Amino acid sequence: MQAFHDIRFPLGVSFGATGGPEWKNEIVSLTSGHEQRNARWAASRHHYDAGTGVRSLIDLETVLTFFEARRGSLHAFRFRDPFDHQSCAAGKPIAATDQALGQGDGKQAIFQLRKHYGDHIRLITKPQVSSVRVAVAGVEKREPTDFVVDVLTGRIVFQPGRLPPAGSVVTAGFAFDVPVRFDADRLTISIKSFQAGEIPTIPIIEVKA
């Protein structure tokens, strides 16, 4: 990924945003009346509109400063998805056993953070480092004694001598951000009153590594 700024979009504004995942599928209607459906993408791509999260002049000024610092769509950044930003279900605490990362073989040191949605697996590349908890065979491990977290790739790296033994299941719990960029190079701003302003739309789109 090029030109990534490891900074999060203003949290208060992001939690008022709208948006969600998009899939790209191809559907062909056959002469028999049946359909042939093919997936164009291996994973979904998330879109957001943060304009709905701007509620005050302070919010407006904060977003404007952030937009200018990213030079519009040039630099990617972190975005906290208001609907999906933890390894666990909403309202539950993060646990080291939330998501399965793989199985140890006594040699593998690196495991990628991931979240399961049924049989679909989403790779998590921008964890909140202080939130990451890891367990091997159900036993929670300690950072950095047992492992370290790469906050820019979402990889868990076990320390030499601490590698998960063969047959052990490696799991993790975490909070995470989505790597995104602005999907526009211009913001349209208006002042509704002395104490309130608005940016009707702030399009944001997920970027893939």
Tell me which of 75-89, 136-150, 194-208 is least confident: 194-208
Tell me how crowded residue 67 is: count the other CB atoms within 10 A of its CB: 20
Phi-psi region of 171 (alpha: psi -120 to 50; beta: other; left: phi over 0): beta
pTM for the model: 0.90
pLDDT tens digits for range 38-97: 999 999 999 999 999 998 889 999 999 999 999 999 999 999 999 999 999 999 999 999
pLDDT tens digits for range 96-128: 999 999 999 999 999 999 999 999 999 999 999
The rounded distance, in Å, linking the Cα atoms of 122 and 105 is: 23
Tokens 């989505």 sit on residue: 178
Report the SS3 class of residue 12.
helix
Tell me how crowded residue 58 is: count the other CB atoms within 10 A of its CB: 13
Tell me how crowded residue 113 is: count the other CB atoms within 10 A of its CB: 25
